[in-house]
Structure 1
């Protein structure tokens, strides 16, 4: 019924540079292309801050009835933690393709439609809860209008704003020939193969150097590294490193 390992759908604008050649290896994956330790630290700090704000809200609204005070603090905490989590723990979509001429990869981030669904359901559920409580205490009727109404306005602003959608959508495509690679490294503490490259970009007269993280599925990195080695120049070093780098 549920397909949890469903392959990612490639972006419609993607055109492989080596599309005329048969692919020798390819896969798609969701990965966090940032330092997870830092992201976890940021989330923990913000979670403590939000918890403190919720307690302050609870103590300030002493004149409000107990159900309204508690529920308002819970709703505030859930919304804020969801927003912070979507900012600190986003995943990027990756597609890798290998041919005899070289390899290329595409990375993109889709607009988080799940956030809109969450806000829509949260607005409906909180409205029902507040209306139920309002039957017990009519003073909570105002909360039934303000709380879910604010969530609904947030949902509409996210769903209808073109600028907001573009801000949370990214797309990049890169292609390299095997001769442009200068180092291969297997990251022993992550499912990553790291490649260094040295290229002269089209329209430029200087050499550009950089690195690429190839995010692999579990127990796949050694296979990927062994596949790449025969295509590299004999003087290209193949090493193993331990680094604090992203993981998927």
Structure 2
């Protein structure tokens, strides 16, 4: 019927179940699909701790302000990147509406950009410190400590199986139109909320929960009106504050 802007390609781990049916509506979006207030509060608290720690490190090395400043910069940069990769993760969503119902593919790839940043930072700082030893041999200690610390951070992120699993997710959600029991337009986020009751094959039982459909700015009313035509006339249609879950598991 019509399509909203598409930008993301579906990963090979996920496939549409109703791909043989015509797509009535579909789009992809990147979004922070959790309680952003809590995540932002945690970020600013940790950022303040990192900043204060960096200042204390720098002040403790007044006898060598250049070395102290560089070491502080290395500490601040590496820890801040790790913090941002944790508190500001974005999940990728792909929605597809067909005559049979709604499909939602959601996935989160491992943040390779953080590893690339740390790798280049370690390399550049190592070269800089080695170069500075020509003028001051004390920089040799910095060449050993600074890049080595960044390298250890890089290795812990790149080769930790538990960390990689935490940062990587693939989910495929499938619902028929008859499953939905309430349609709501969120007043606090760009979300259309659909309550549903259906048999979950993974859990082996009937579950009742909500599907948050994340929309682009000023599109939720349009999406809600579209969905409403495919629901039973007795399904309530409301506007309310929606509590976005802390995770999608």
- For residue 151 of structure 1, what is the aligned residue in structure 2? 150
Assess, with a 3 A threshold, how the Cα gap between structure 1 residues 133 and 203 changes in structure 2: closer, same or farther: closer
Q: How many Å separate the matches in 1 of 2:120 and 2:242?
A: 41
- In the other structure, the counterpart of 2:241 is 242
Unaligned runs of 5+ in 1: none
Match of 1:113? 112
State the TM-score, normalized to the length of structure 1: 0.89
1:184 pairs with 2:183: yes
Aligned CA distance change for structure 1 residues 124 and 170 (closer, same or farther; 3 Å): same
Name structure 2 gaps, 5 residues minimum: none
CA distance in 2, matches of 1:148, 1:6: 41
Aligned position for 1:216: 215
Deviations 1:50-78 (A, max 9, x none): 1121122223334x511011111121111
Distance in structure 2 (CA, Å) of the matches to 1:139 and 1:212: 59
1:124 aligns with 2:120: no
Work out the CA distance in 1 between the residues paired with 2:193 and 2:167.
Answer: 26
1:54 and 2:60 are equivalent in the alignment = no
2:24 equivalent to 1:15: no
Q: Deviations over 1:113-169 (max 9, x none)?
A: 101110111112212332333222111112112211332343344334555433321
After the TM superposition, which residues 60-79 of structure 1 pair with which residues of structure 2 at under 5 Å, given as runs?
60-62=60-62, 64-79=63-78
Q: Which runs of at least 4 in structure 1 moved beyond 6 Å after TM superposition?
A: none
- Pairwise CA distance, 1:6: 7.6
Give the paired residue count: 241
Q: 1:155 to 1:59 in 2, by over 3 A?
A: same
C-alpha contact 2:198 2:208 (8 A) present in aligned 1? yes
Task: Give the whole-Å Cα distance in 2 for the aligned partners of 1:13 and 1:198.
Answer: 26
Displacement of 1:244: 5.9
Q: Which residue of 1 aligns with 2:38?
A: 38
Q: Counterpart of 1:190 in 2: which secondary structure?
A: coil
